[in-house]
Amino acid sequence: MVLDTDRLLATLATGVINIYPFAFRCSSLNREQSPLINGMSYLLQCVVMRCGVESAFNIITDPESLFKVKCQLPFELKIDRYEPIISTILHDLAMYCSSKYCLKLHYKQPEDGPDYFLRFINPKYHKEKDSRFLVMNSIKEKCRLGILRDDEYCHLAEDVPKDPDSLLKVLYLVRSVIFSRAGELYM
């Protein structure tokens, strides 16, 4: 958040343009890709908040235009490029929004339980973290933020849309959720 606006936009655009080489490099070195995706997710959220949804949408869908790159990717590859970033944002916002007792959307993850502490007793004990979760999305409950109509599902729990108009709507929802939830911190 401390970067000036031009540097923030350029950093996000550079990251999006280079996400395939970065991910390939991580894979070839047996490194986790999630820090890369989480970082890009945070940068995109910063752009949404500081520069607006349209700027974020333009950079995430066509970052080459910022640098006047002549080579263009096919639209399907552009979707594959931004899908994990947007998916991370939606998952994180849905999980944390749900934790604020919103009945419209509820995420439930399996708990580690006492097995977590076995690793301190037995150094050879290793249990993979369970990444599954249950999503309950209600059409009858009210959104605690007042962003959604009562008769619609929360879009944070949905897949990343493939068409540009729906993606734009999702980014507007992301902006509304962040503004509302961050505003609660000042109350």
Give the chain's mean pLDDT: 83
Burial 105-133, CB ≥16 within 10 A → b, else e: bbbeeeeeeeeeeeeeeeeeeeeeeeeee
Share of the chain above pLDDT 90, in %: 35
* Residues of the domain holding 128: 5-184
Number of domains in the chain: 1
Specify the pTM: 0.81
- pLDDT at 17 exceeding the cut of 80: yes
pLDDT of residue 97: 81
Average pLDDT over every residue of 153-166: 88
Closest-CA residue to 107 (of 83, 124, 131, 127): 131
Rounded-to-integer distance, Cα 11 and Cα 4, Å: 11
With a CB cutoff of 8 Å and minimum separation 6, the contacts of 61 are 78, 82, 164, 167
